[in-house]
Structure 1
Amino acid sequence: MTTKKLSENETEEILNILKVRIKKNRFNLKNLDWEEIEKRLIANPEKLWSLEQMEKTGGEPDVIKIGSAIVFCDCSKESPSGRRSLCYDHEALLARKENKPQDSAVNAAQEMGIELLDEDQYRHLQTLDKFDEKTSSWIKTPSEIRKLGGSLFCDRRYDFVFLYHNGVQSYYAARGFRGLVKI
């Protein structure tokens, strides 16, 4: 089992990456206070570990909302490169007879300690900048749809955010998933 705690060097490295990114404040958020954010991160080493996992897999986590909870989200322009070619969930992975992907989006997110974005969160992210113009991202699928073998994903094409459906067992090289961490 993976230890969900970073070494001192890893902690310093991810904090430096996040500090630079947050100081740029690319989404013009009000009340961004790096010292408060850093304090919360240090007090929650498992969340810091999750952010480091997001960074390692190409997510470029950044703060997208601040208030009583600081919300970090994958803000890479395209779906994180280290989290693509995954089917939707573990049940779908087990059901595939041939050409199984390495993992599922739901399982990978759980292992990383992050939440898959739902449709509202994905659409909010798209109000901050243009994401997934060449890729797509699995999103949290309502249980009613999942029970019938379906799953949802989103992307941006023609300057419009689209919501689509696919079978849970499908996977594509250009489809990954985005996640978030609340602190």
Structure 2
Amino acid sequence: MDWYQTLFELIDMRSFSNLWFWIVLAVTWSTASHWVLGVPYDMVLRARRQGDQAEVDLEDMVRINVNRLLFIAQVSGLWILGFGCFGLTMLVLLGFVYGMEFAQAVFLLAFPLSLIGLLSLSTARLIQAEESGGERLRRRLTRHRLYTQIIGMVSIFVTAIWGMYQNVALGPLGG
């Protein structure tokens, strides 16, 4: 048995029947809902409970991440959008037209995360435009986290339904 065959047995390209895919899916959405605009959500909770320096730290961290995100969007936003659309289109074609299960799995991870990226950009613009601070900033970040969790729940549900369909339709050996 060569290393190539061993590697592909460990990283099964039948994604929906592979435990690693479901672990990646859970960790991805857990991480996405914990980091709100690049700020860990526990900082929002700490600022709400303690105020003072925790509030200043939160506002500084959000200001830095909002400015960074908006700068990246302004400088190279169209290129990122173009490459992102190209990548998602390629995954759709490979996955759903040509039946490549690995591409389906990556698309079902990447597409909702691209929606989170657009949501983050929109939230960053709102925070900068209204110069949010204090309670208003915490509410905006909490709302962003809620929307992220809703997108994540829908994504996990759709992925689970599609994965179950693939496993039932294709069987354990892939056809």
- Normalising to structure 1: TM-score of the pair? 0.22
Greater helix share, 1 or 2? 2
Determine which structure has greater relative contact order: mean sequence separation of CA pairs < 8 Å that are 6+ residues apart, divided by chain length. 2
Greater strand share, 1 or 2? 1
Select the structure of larger CA radius of gyration: 2
- Normalising to structure 2: TM-score of the pair? 0.23
